[in-house]
Structure 1
Amino acid sequence: MPAAQALNAAVVALRGLVAAIGTPPVGMLNLERIEMVPIGIQRGELVSTIPLAPGEETAVTHKEWSVTSKEFTTIVTDAMEEISETGVTDNTDLAQSTSSQSQHSNQFNITGTVQGGIPIISGSSTTGFTAQDSESESATESIKHARSTTQKASSRSRREHKVTISTTTVTGTSETSTRVLKNTQRDPIRIDYFSLMRKWRVRLYRYGLRLTYDLVVPEPGAAMRRAYAELDRLRAQQGPFEFTVKLSEVDLTPVDAEGRPAEEGMARYLWLGEHFGVAVRRHPDDPTPLTPSAHVLTSGGWWFLDLEFEVPAGTWIREILLNAQIGKDDEDAKLNFDVIGAQTEPSWSGRGDPLILRDHRIMAVGGRAPYLEHYTGRQKMTFFTHHAEDVYVGLTVHRQPTPEAIEQWRVEVWNTLHNAAQARYYARQEEIAARIAVIEERLSGVDTLTLRREESDEIMKSVLRFVLGPEFDFMPDDVLKAFVAAGVDLEHGVGFDGSALGLSAEQWTTLRRHEDVVRFVNQAIEWENVVTFLYSYFWDVPPSWPFIRQLRHADPSRQAFLRAGSARIVLTVRKGWEERWMRFAEGGSIGAQIPEEYLTIAQEIAAYDDRNYPGIPPANPGRSAVHLADSVHTTSSADLAPSTKPVNIKIASSAGFVAGLPVLIDAHDERGLQEAQMVTAIPDATHLTVARLDHAHHGSRQPVPVLQPGEKGALIAEWNEYTPSSGTDIAVTSNLTSIA
């Protein structure tokens, strides 16, 4: 059972689809107009009443005035743009100097005198020994810290001053009249004042029938939304400044051209500098090594040699390399050498020969780290020698930046990148704001007539695209090639402005063929009578609903056009173009072959319009021209037979009929008996004479309508309208029951 139901549903749907495909979007549109003619003045509403008792007298003041107002407005707009930049440089210098000097002097004198003798010989011996030791040590320490900070601030402001001067001149005239009313009768009376209303006769005429072509197109205002889409994209870029580069990302990691980590490439901080368009400070390299040295002559005994050096701030010791050349004295004792506080080297003790060292890496006790690693500031190394004679000690102190210095460099680079990105962002924001202002001004500064014309152009474009299908081109390829060959500026649409067209005969023929299509499309349709119905959500994709819902325009019609998801368009085919339009719309080209039923519909509508609506006469008709403003109709109860000769028709009344004009006999229905014949004579009040009859008409069965169309068309409805006037009517003791 479910399978059978599904099959039946499919069959019904298929038949509906076939019926829908086979039904052309063709219809009829009656052209109507309203005619208003003033036909007189009529008493209107009651304005005021003045009751008067017998013998009572009163004064009535009547004022009339007219006021003329003239206004002159002058608008003066001044715009001033200010750009200011402020630079502040802060220099901080800290200098510290320490000088110390110590002097040690030691003097040792020994004098010995020996005197003796024998009687024959006497002798004297004097021995003197003097030892003097003087040691002087001087040290100067100087530390200088310098810091320079530069801050730069820029601001840009725009001020607009608008002065509007309005001069209003009001001139008026006033007329006052006073009337004295007195009731001289014995009965009370009432003076009634009424407003006077202008009476209009309003007639609704149907003056034509047109073939229509009905279709529904999606998003008629899609092209106009591009400017709003651009506005939406620009506004989405507005907002507070955000800097996404982290401080930790300022490092030496190699990256590729896109900033992604790679095995080889430039350092990330350099890539960031290029990305933001700013030069950044280079990463601190290892400083130049320090090379302190000392050369002394020792006495061969115990000797302690102190070697001092200064490690500048911002750097610390990475490693120390020792270069030494120590000579041995002439004694048989062994040579000993050591660096106090460092790792002891066994080969430096108990040597019987001189000691020569080249770039020996001094290690700390335990041998796991370099000696004095990560030390900074003033340092002193002590070297011990024993049984040495001539000693040279030289150091190569390799340094590297401290973590604090690296962090300071990282902060400085990050600040540079931040300021560059911020300046670029604010410049971009100003550019975006300027572009938004230009687009908004372009959208709002359009007059109403131009708006309607633009919408009509979009409707025309949508119609052609969806009537003629995907094979239709607004600019075919061969025509585009002809434009290119002529050197047309395709981007701005500037071409054919010189003395020569620059086209070959073949290209000229191509343009003329396309010209025929353009001319036909604009002539075949009464674009001024196209009817459009806008639908909001149909065919708009749901993701676009929030954007479309927020579209705003000062003109309500343009706003509705922009927000329309689809539009039903009823095209009005111009009179006389019905058959050619059907060939073009259904066949895809001018003069295409299409099924006969389409042409029959077009021909029937055109024939009905010709029979029923003679149209507006020329402004300067000939003297013999015959006119009939309004239609005249009557009926005939006689049976009429076809005849090629004049036929005298008995009618109910011939009043209003005019000889020399066509008359419609019978009704327009599926029988197809309605015909138009010329009235040749009006014999009397109940007869008409027509030139001939093509069909039989049986008035005895049902009265046959006889209609003579008027130039204004068929009168559909007639009524009266009233508009106020400046007049006033007066009456004495009006009948209250007759006042509406």
Structure 2
Amino acid sequence: MPPWSGGAQPPVLGHAARSIPKATLVPVKVDGPPRSSGFVEHAYLRRLGLRPDEVAALRGRLTAELPWELLAASAADPGDRPLRAAVLAAAHGPALRALGGELEGLRRADATAEGRARAGRAAAANAAYDHNAAVEPIGMLNLERLEMAPAGIERGELVATVPLAPLEETAVTQKEWSVTSKEFSSIVTDSLENVSETGVTDNTELAQSTTNQLQHSNQFNVTGTVSGGISLISGSASSGMTSQSADSQSATDSRKHATAITQKASARTKQEHKVTITTTTVTGSSETTTRTLRNASPTDAVRIDYFSMMRKWRVRLYRSGLRLTYDLAIPEPAGALRQSYAELASLEARLGPFRFDVPHSDITEKVRAGENQAHYLVLAERYGAAVPLAPGPHPDIHVNVTAPNNDGAAIFDAPPLNVPDRYWIKNLQFRFTSESRTGDYNYNLKVLGSSIPEWNEPFGTHGPVDLADPVNGALLAHASGPCTVSFHLVNNRQTWLSLTAVVEPTDEARRQWQNDVWAALFNAAQTKYYAEQQDLAARAAALRERLNGVDTLTLRREESDEIMKGVLRFLLGADYHLMPSEVVDAFKASVGNDPDRLGRGAGFPGDDTGSLGTSSAAWAAVLGHEAEVAFVNQAIEWENVVTFLYSYFWDAPAAWPFVSRISHPDANRQAFLRAGSARVVLTVRKGWEEAWVRFAEGGFRGAPLPADHPYLTIAREIAAYDDRNYPGIPPANPGSSSLLLEDEVVTTCAAVVQPAAGGAPVLVPVASSEGFDPGTVVVVDEYDDRRIQENATVVRVPDDGHLLLSGLAHRHDGSLTPFPVRRPGHRGTLIAKWNEYTPTSGTDIAVSSPLKDIA
């Protein structure tokens, strides 16, 4: 039996404790009329994108009081006439929402593509406004921590038993075997400093299983992706800002959430311990031994029992702090990051098979409208091709000959017309002069093969006659090579014959030329296309590598920057500029005549004298801007901002096909890129609560907030409550009365303590002053109906039974119920504690265990 089975507590391995950060988000509902600072309405109207004609049409439809003149001026010139948040704050929210609904209906009535797109834009703006108007921006984030430490080994369930009768002896063959077969999970831990490391842990570890279960539970509840410094968020709700009830409710919800999570994790480790999990690496060994077991008692039977051994875990849930949160939703959180993916999609869309759409009929020598040369030469320049010249005109071919005199009939063949290759006869012009012999004779001349009647006359000159004309019989039309014309002559004298052949390229030659030109254009276009394709593919590959080849830490930082930018834009409105125009002018003045330096981010280079090249007034504007930048970065714990990503269909419908198909090897980046909207929970840095509320609600850019402004009051209350020690939280276990950590010191006072006049120190009688040191801050509390709690400083420790505290502001009565005086611990307040068990590979053996002790 274990040495502590007699009642002593098992040792707790504190050095092996695991710590998991956790938080509980509590949205706060403010009683009273709905508030409006105008920023939600301003962002809403900016997303609607009103046009002047739409403003005029809506003004005739709606009867509600709205700033129509300002709306019309902003629609006409949105760049120079921004809407003022102060004016919009005075506008009634339902009236603005009615305007958006009417605008969506007005645009849906337009059946054009532009009308549908603008209707989708209005629908997305209406959905975003409905969400932002319903969410109260002020809330609380309770910072918590789960700590799990091994707390000993205990006997588990019965595995096997061997019964032996009196004096019975038996041989037991025992086969011992060991097989290692584990499932491993890769955990990526990103340091916000400069380290990104990867570790591997066994999935059966309770701490790791709890982390996985927390993430799974969180994603299941939120139906989205959560990112930020504290990613393990559970939710609670509060109606009205009563710190005690809100904190008690959130503590109860957090305990239930944490307990359920660790119970699931413990069940998961037990299941994994029992189930064989196939992995790529399996190592094992086996050994068979035979043992002889003998019951030495002649009267009593015995039983050899085998038990599993269970590891006990001490689980503690601590609440370590409280933060004011500012809650809002922003559209398209990754809008700027998508530009690179749009460029990549454009490059990849241009990649594809080669297509050559120039028909043969386009290869012509004609000069088309707007061109200054033959069209085929225009094509050659377009594709960079060397093309053969078009078959040009050929000189006419002439044959002049004098036929011999003839008193009878004779056939005379004129010398041949040598038509060059790839040309044929287009026109064949014939002229002649002839006369007859003396007497009453006429000469006769007939062109053989022609349909022209013969000439029969005493003398005459004729021509030109186109022998190739179809009317004349189309003699030698489209003939090429040596072409001979034959004549029939009778009684002729002084006969002079002239043939002129007008030639042109043959149809085959022209087709061949078109084919040669088309082939040259095709080859040149293909070569040019493949070169362009290679360049596009290289650019697309380089861009994809640049997008995907980024380390995890840089991805998270980029997403954090985009969230910050989106929050500032949609929280502070269009009249807030990340860099005001006067600061931009100061940057421009600093670079002088080298404007390219401004585009490269090289402002204020300075000169040889050390001057920054700007005036004192401009430099003052820059310093003021930098002070505001410092405030925005310091007031919010941007490293711990929690982001809930919503699906792509909360984006403009026209973007759905593109956004929903964006891919990235990092799952978080892919979800960020695909998000159509995002809910952002800003955690306000401790001590900056009131300043941030004034800034966010318009105090820095308009009239200061009144002292009784509900959000300002809540900010002060949360800031003060964070300094308290969470009184009134019921204990996690009914038998426990202590809510303190080991490093906290507590005592009680059973007397009535009155505040001293003028804030003088007060001597407080206590049960024990051990552990209290001068200069430390203590919490003086009282568990009555008033629940008064205040901080005080230990001025001096006079003896073991008194503490001299700095001036108290309230009366504390411990005569009936002693009130506590505590020095808070540095690690937070314990709000829940319980134990969990996980199996081990060990086995325990016992003889005749009592049945009532066997699980």
TM-score of the aligned structures, taking structure 2 as reference length: 0.60
Alignment of 1:13 onto 2:94 = yes
Secondary structure of 1:293's partner?
A: strand
Matches within 5 A, 1:709-720: 709-720=824-835
TM-score of the aligned structures, taking structure 1 as reference length: 0.68
Matches within 5 A, 1:216-227: 216-227=329-340
The answer to whether the Cα contact below 8 Å between 1:309 and 1:380 also exists between their aligned partners in 2 is: yes
Match of 1:185 among 291, 297, 321: 297
Secondary structure of 2:650's partner?
A: coil
**Which position in structure 2 is the counterpart of 1:239?**
352
- Tell me which protein shows more helix as a share of its residues: 2
Alignment of 1:272 onto 2:383 = no
Structure 1 segments unaligned to the other structure (5+ residues): 1-5, 70-167, 258-263, 615-626
Go from structure 1 to structure 2 and tell me whether the alpha carbon gap of 1:14 and 1:314 turns closer, same or farther (over 3 Å shift): closer
Secondary structure of 1:242's partner?
A: coil
The answer to whether the Cα contact below 8 Å between 1:482 and 1:503 also exists between their aligned partners in 2 is: no
Distance 1:588 1:274 in 2: 66
Q: Post-superposition shift, 1:609?
A: 1.7
Distance 1:424 1:12 in 2: 59
Deviations 1:297-328 (A, max 9, x none): 42566554321334445432211223545577
The answer to whether the Cα contact below 8 Å between 1:304 and 1:383 also exists between their aligned partners in 2 is: yes
Matches within 5 A, 1:373-522: 373-384=477-488, 388-476=492-580, 477-478=584-585, 480-481=587-588, 484-485=591-592, 489=597, 493=601, 503-506=612-615, 511-522=622-633
The answer to whether the Cα contact below 8 Å between 1:26 and 1:213 also exists between their aligned partners in 2 is: yes
Q: Which stretch shifts more, 504-513 or 438-447?
A: 504-513
Distance 1:525 1:728 in 2: 53
Matches within 5 A, 1:78-89: none
Give the counterpart letter for 1:522 in structure 2. Answer: N
Go from structure 1 to structure 2 and tell me whether the alpha carbon gap of 1:437 and 1:718 turns closer, same or farther (over 3 Å shift): same
Deviations 1:105-138 (A, max 9, x none): xxxxxxxxxxxxxxxxxxxxxxxxxxxxxxxxxx
Secondary structure of 2:724's partner?
A: helix
Distance 1:63 1:715 in 2: 45
Secondary structure of 2:723's partner?
A: helix
Go from structure 1 to structure 2 and tell me whether the alpha carbon gap of 1:370 and 1:559 turns closer, same or farther (over 3 Å shift): same
Match of 2:424 among 316, 320, 327: 316
Go from structure 1 to structure 2 and tell me whether the alpha carbon gap of 1:724 and 1:691 turns closer, same or farther (over 3 Å shift): same
**Which position in structure 1 is the counterpart of 2:724?**
611
Give the counterpart letter for 1:397 in structure 2. Answer: A
The answer to whether the Cα contact below 8 Å between 1:204 and 1:717 also exists between their aligned partners in 2 is: yes
Deviations 1:15-56 (A, max 9, x none): 999998799722221111123344433333444444444442
Q: Post-superposition shift, 1:475?
A: 4.3
Alignment of 1:736 onto 2:851 = yes
Q: Post-superposition shift, 1:389?
A: 3.7
Distance 1:57 1:656 in 2: 64
Go from structure 1 to structure 2 and tell me whether the alpha carbon gap of 1:488 and 1:33 turns closer, same or farther (over 3 Å shift): farther
**Which position in structure 2 is the counterpart of 1:126?**
none
Distance 1:717 1:469 in 2: 43
Secondary structure of 1:255's partner?
A: coil
**Which position in structure 1 is the counterpart of 2:779?**
663
Q: Post-superposition shift, 1:203?
A: 1.6
Secondary structure of 1:316's partner?
A: strand
Q: Post-superposition shift, 1:690?
A: 5.4
Distance 2:661 2:467 in 1: 75
Q: Post-superposition shift, 1:665?
A: 3.0
Go from structure 1 to structure 2 and tell me whether the alpha carbon gap of 1:176 and 1:301 turns closer, same or farther (over 3 Å shift): closer
The answer to whether the Cα contact below 8 Å between 1:35 and 1:204 also exists between their aligned partners in 2 is: yes
Alignment of 1:30 onto 2:137 = no
Match of 1:575 among 675, 686, 697: 686
Q: Which stretch shifts more, 636-645 or 442-451?
A: 636-645
Match of 1:558 among 664, 669, 676: 669
Go from structure 1 to structure 2 and tell me whether the alpha carbon gap of 1:511 and 1:206 turns closer, same or farther (over 3 Å shift): same
**Which position in structure 2 is the counterpart of 1:305?**
412
Distance 2:678 2:747 in 1: 41
Q: Post-superposition shift, 1:202?
A: 2.0
Give the counterpart letter for 1:382 in structure 2. Answer: S
Distance 2:546 2:373 in 1: 46
Q: Post-superposition shift, 1:422?
A: 2.9
Secondary structure of 2:388's partner?
A: coil
Deviations 1:478-503 (A, max 9, x none): 25425644776566657789997883
Number of matched pairs: 613
**Which position in structure 2 is the counterpart of 1:629?**
743
Go from structure 1 to structure 2 and tell me whether the alpha carbon gap of 1:23 and 1:553 turns closer, same or farther (over 3 Å shift): closer
Secondary structure of 1:373's partner?
A: coil
Q: Post-superposition shift, 1:568?
A: 0.6
Go from structure 1 to structure 2 and tell me whether the alpha carbon gap of 1:681 and 1:508 turns closer, same or farther (over 3 Å shift): closer
Distance 1:633 1:322 in 2: 138
Match of 1:215 among 299, 304, 328: 328
The answer to whether the Cα contact below 8 Å between 2:795 and 2:804 also exists between their aligned partners in 1 is: yes
Match of 1:281 among 384, 388, 396: 388
- Tell me which protein shows more strand as a share of its residues: 1
The answer to whether the Cα contact below 8 Å between 2:606 and 2:612 also exists between their aligned partners in 1 is: no
Q: Post-superposition shift, 1:524?
A: 1.9
Distance 1:324 1:633 in 2: 145
The answer to whether the Cα contact below 8 Å between 1:336 and 1:385 also exists between their aligned partners in 2 is: yes
The answer to whether the Cα contact below 8 Å between 1:668 and 1:674 also exists between their aligned partners in 2 is: no
Give the counterpart letter for 1:504 in structure 2. Answer: G
The answer to whether the Cα contact below 8 Å between 2:175 and 2:286 also exists between their aligned partners in 1 is: no
**Which position in structure 2 is the counterpart of 1:547?**
658
Larger Rg: 1
**Which position in structure 2 is the counterpart of 1:619?**
none
Distance 2:164 2:653 in 1: 75
Q: Post-superposition shift, 1:530?
A: 0.9
Q: Post-superposition shift, 1:473?
A: 3.7
Deviations 1:47-70 (A, max 9, x none): 44444444426578797989999x
Deviations 1:463-485 (A, max 9, x none): 22222322344444225425644
Give the counterpart letter for 2:848 in structure 1. Answer: T
Go from structure 1 to structure 2 and tell me whether the alpha carbon gap of 1:362 and 1:16 turns closer, same or farther (over 3 Å shift): closer
The answer to whether the Cα contact below 8 Å between 2:142 and 2:321 also exists between their aligned partners in 1 is: yes
**Which position in structure 2 is the counterpart of 1:290?**
397
Deviations 1:553-604 (A, max 9, x none): 3332222112111111111111122233234333385999444335443333
Distance 2:691 2:358 in 1: 68
Matches within 5 A, 1:118-137: none
The answer to whether the Cα contact below 8 Å between 2:746 and 2:820 also exists between their aligned partners in 1 is: no
Go from structure 1 to structure 2 and tell me whether the alpha carbon gap of 1:59 and 1:252 turns closer, same or farther (over 3 Å shift): same
Go from structure 1 to structure 2 and tell me whether the alpha carbon gap of 1:247 and 1:462 turns closer, same or farther (over 3 Å shift): same
Secondary structure of 1:287's partner?
A: coil
Q: Post-superposition shift, 1:533?
A: 0.6
Structure 2 segments unaligned to the other structure (5+ residues): 1-61, 67-91, 99-128, 183-279, 728-740
Residue identity over aligned pairs, in percent, reads 47
Secondary structure of 2:643's partner?
A: strand
Match of 1:601 among 707, 711, 714: 714
Secondary structure of 2:665's partner?
A: coil
